[in-house]
């Protein structure tokens, strides 16, 4: 099975045009610019961001990086005032945006907690994740329409969460789009398996030595085959799952000094023992899909070694001086901080190079299901490996699932499809139907689920202008939503 091929067969590595939507990024953009500078590909990057000063800052940084002594490529950077100007004639499009966390993510975390839902991340599912999708999908429909008009054959890389919702919306708006959703969670699993192969089999392995059969939806992916340079790792995985270190318990006090990104893999091991397939996503994401790990509140979450991402952490994410997730490029350029030009750990350049005709590359991607996962619905965006070569992305057939795992995944797909379909017309009540069938929300009484939904709408109303709030029966019935 092959995606519709772009007609950019004439594009080579000497004159590549990249449009970066969300180009004011403080994390992805600085890493991407360094990867580009260290590549053998030359071209132009046009940045668009609603915060123009952020895009201009990254333009200065990109051109500054390109002038570094050990840069091997020749890139130029410029900012545009409109999305259309950035997209015009682009060969590749990068989508990586988010709203101010202090005005959005904090509500995604805090309001559900008032109803007893202690989500660990609220990034891709659960009430907070669904509202992140509802805020973002209408904007990405506009991006897809603009791509159709200004660069219909471009390859589109979506990094914006929730990746499966957003990538699905891109295809729903523009079915012929050449879009792939990218995420590094599976890469982390491969890195851990490489450590296991090194520590227990003496193989001195790296991530690149590990091959896995990936299948699922983003942040809820699974592996049923794993090899290190051809050696079957399943006997080792099965052995490790029964060991004491795979059966640890934690208290809240144990996690006080831990980062929210620390992955103790206890949820992973428990799911493996129950279902016989290995999750390939960090525990902090798994618990939001297999949500019985959070139903006892934060103490239950902590018992499994997962530390909840607090709203204060999300708010600080927006400010480089207070965050360990964002980069202060001004400090690098001024000499306040030492700068070393070095590659990131991401796969963007490998995918880009393969599409331009360099070495064929295999990695996990998010694409509409055309049969690569045999027992999940067609067209739903799923995550599997794909073979990437010049101007082609070919998903690899990954097989199906044990019935219990399939049941879990299909439920989340039904939520995704319901919300994306509702976004076609902005039908808020139809989106509420998708909200209701989310497993975290299903644990609430009907009145509470309605009031939670209305509370979230009220807190984020300015970001939901594309939804029909005035015509919503759900909001009209709610005591939480203010009406005139």
**Domain for residue 264, yes or no?**
yes
Task: Supply the CATH number for residue 447's domain.
Answer: 3.90.1820.10
Residues 6+ positions from 85 with CB-CB distance below 8 Å: 46, 48
Closest CA to 424 of 181, 155, 148, 168: 168
Catalytic site residue from 17, 164, 184, 412: 184
Establish whether the linkage from the previous residue to 36 is cis, with ω within 30° of 0. no
- 462 — pLDDT class (breaks 50, 70, 90): very high
| Dihedral angle of Cα 332, 338, 342, 343, to the nearest 10 degrees | -50
Residue 119 has pLDDT above 90, yes or no: no
Q: Which pLDDT does position 9 carry in this prediction?
A: 46
- Please answer whether residues 364 and 214 qualify as being in contact, where contact means their C-beta atoms are separated by less than 8 angstroms: yes
Residue 349 has pLDDT above 80, yes or no: yes
- Report, as an integer, the average pLDDT of 331-356: 94
**Domain for residue 118, yes or no?**
no
Q: What pLDDT, in 10s, does the model give residues 1-59?
A: 444 434 444 566 679 999 999 999 888 899 999 999 999 999 999 999 999 999 999 99
User: What ranges make up the beta strands (E) of 6-59?
Assistant: 16-21, 43-48
**Domain for residue 204, yes or no?**
yes
From CA 319, how far away is CA 100, in angstroms rounded? 10
- 296 — pLDDT class (breaks 50, 70, 90): confident
The pTM for the full model equals 0.94
Q: What pLDDT, in 10s, does the model give residues 133-183?
A: 999 999 999 999 999 999 999 999 999 999 999 999 999 999 999 999 999
Q: Which pLDDT does position 248 carry in this prediction?
A: 97
Q: What pLDDT, in 10s, does the model give residues 56-89?
A: 999 999 999 999 999 999 999 999 999 999 999 9
CA 294 to chain CA centroid, Å, is 21
Q: Which pLDDT does position 102 carry in this prediction?
A: 85
Of all residues in the chain, the percent with pLDDT exceeding 70 is 94
Q: Which pLDDT does position 26 carry in this prediction?
A: 85
- Please answer whether residues 233 and 205 qualify as being in contact, where contact means their C-beta atoms are separated by less than 8 angstroms: no
From CA 437, how far away is CA 291, in angstroms rounded? 13
Q: Which pLDDT does position 5 carry in this prediction?
A: 39
- Please answer whether residues 437 and 449 qualify as being in contact, where contact means their C-beta atoms are separated by less than 8 angstroms: no
**Domain for residue 292, yes or no?**
yes
Other CB atoms within 10 A of residue 73 CB: 16
* Angle, CA of 177, 129 and 435, to the nearest 5°: 95
| H or E stretch covering 423 | helix 403-423
Q: Is 338 exposed, middle or buried (0-12, 13-18, 19+ CB in 10 A)?
A: exposed
Q: Which pLDDT does position 147 carry in this prediction?
A: 98
- Please answer whether residues 286 and 220 qualify as being in contact, where contact means their C-beta atoms are separated by less than 8 angstroms: yes
Q: What pLDDT, in 10s, does the model give residues 171-214?
A: 999 999 999 999 999 999 999 999 999 999 999 999 999 999 99
Residue 243 has pLDDT above 90, yes or no: yes
**136, two tokens:** 């973002």
Q: Which pLDDT does position 99 carry in this prediction?
A: 86
Residues 6+ positions from 227 with CB-CB distance below 8 Å: 210, 211, 212, 233
**Domain for residue 21, yes or no?**
no
Closest CA to 439 of 110, 117, 163: 117
Q: Which pLDDT does position 2 carry in this prediction?
A: 44
**Domain for residue 163, yes or no?**
no
- Report, as an integer, the average pLDDT of 205-234: 98
DSSP 362-412: EEEEEEE-SSSBTTS-TTSEEEEEEEEETTEEEEPP-B---HHHHHHHHHH
Residues 6+ positions from 77 with CB-CB distance below 8 Å: 33, 44, 45, 46, 47, 58, 59, 62, 63, 66
Domain count, the chain: 1
- Please answer whether residues 301 and 292 qualify as being in contact, where contact means their C-beta atoms are separated by less than 8 angstroms: no
Domain enclosing residue 208, as ranges: 182-323+342-460
Q: What pLDDT, in 10s, does the model give residues 256-285?
A: 999 999 999 999 999 999 999 999 999 999
- Report, as an integer, the average pLDDT of 238-265: 95
- 317 — pLDDT class (breaks 50, 70, 90): low
From CA 294, how far away is CA 440, in angstroms rounded? 9
Is 285 a catalytic site residue?
no
Q: What stretches of 151-179 show up as alpha helix (H) in DSSP?
A: 163-173
Q: What pLDDT, in 10s, does the model give residues 392-432?
A: 999 999 999 999 999 999 999 999 999 999 999 999 999 99
**Domain for residue 227, yes or no?**
yes
Q: Which pLDDT does position 28 carry in this prediction?
A: 87
Mean pLDDT of the chain: 93
**Domain for residue 60, yes or no?**
no
């Amino acid at each position: 099975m092959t995606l519709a091929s772009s007609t950019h067969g004439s594009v080579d590595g000497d004159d590549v045009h990249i449009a970066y939507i969300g180009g004011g990024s403080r994390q992805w953009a600085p890493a991407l610019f360094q990867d580009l500078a260290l590549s053998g590909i030359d071209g132009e990057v046009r940045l668009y961001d609603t915060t123009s000063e952020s895009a201009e800052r990254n333009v200065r940084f990109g051109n500054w990086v390109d002038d570094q002594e050990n840069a091997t490529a020749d890139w130029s950077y410029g900012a545009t005032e409109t999305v259309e100007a950035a997209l015009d004639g682009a060969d590749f499009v990068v989508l990586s945006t988010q709203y101010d966390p202090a005005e959005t993510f904090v509500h995604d975390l805090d309001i559900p907690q008032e109803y007893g839902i202690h989500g660990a991340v609220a990034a891709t599912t659960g009430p907070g994740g669904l509202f992140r999708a509802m805020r973002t999908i209408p904007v990405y429909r506009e991006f897809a329409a603009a791509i159709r008009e200004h660069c219909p054959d471009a390859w589109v890389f979506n990094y914006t969460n929730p990746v499966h919702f957003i990538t699905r919306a891109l295809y729903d708006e523009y079915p012929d789009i050449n879009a792939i959703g990218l995420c590094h969670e599976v890469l982390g699993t491969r890195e851990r398996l490489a450590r296991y192969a090194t520590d227990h089999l003496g193989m001195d392995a790296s991530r690149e030595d590990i091959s896995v059969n990936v299948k699922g939806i983003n942040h809820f992916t699974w592996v049923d085959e794993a090899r290190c340079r051809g050696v079957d790792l399943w006997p080792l995985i099965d052995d490790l799952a029964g060991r004491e270190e795979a059966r640890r318990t934690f208290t809240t006090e144990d996690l006080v000094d831990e980062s929210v990104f620390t992955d103790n893999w206890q949820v992973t091991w428990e799911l493996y023992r129950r279902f016989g397939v290995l999750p390939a996503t960090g525990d902090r994401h798994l618990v939001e899909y297999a949500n019985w790990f959070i139903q006892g509140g934060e103490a239950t979450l902590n018992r499994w070694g997962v530390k909840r991402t607090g709203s204060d952490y999300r708010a600080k994410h927006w400010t480089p001086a207070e965050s360990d997730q964002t980069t202060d490029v001004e400090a690098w350029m001024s000499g306040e901080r030492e700068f070393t030009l070095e590659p990131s750990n991401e796969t963007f350049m490998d995918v880009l190079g393969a599409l331009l005709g360099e070495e064929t590359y295999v990695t996990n991607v998010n694409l509409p299901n055309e049969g690569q996962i045999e027992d999940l619905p067609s067209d739903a965006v799923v995550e599997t490996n794909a073979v990437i070569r010049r101007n082609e992305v070919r998903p690899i057939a990954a097989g199906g699932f044990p019935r219990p795992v399939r049941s879990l995944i299909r439920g989340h797909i039904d939520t995704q499809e319901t919300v994306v379909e509702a976004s076609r017309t902005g039908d808020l009540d139809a989106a509420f139907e998708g909200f209701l069938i989310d497993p975290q929300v299903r644990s609430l009484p009907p009145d509470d689920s309605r009031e939670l939904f209305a509370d979230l709408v009220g807190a984020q109303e300015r970001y939901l202008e594309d939804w029909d709030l005035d015509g919503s029966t759900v909001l009209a019935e709610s005591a939480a939503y203010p009406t005139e």
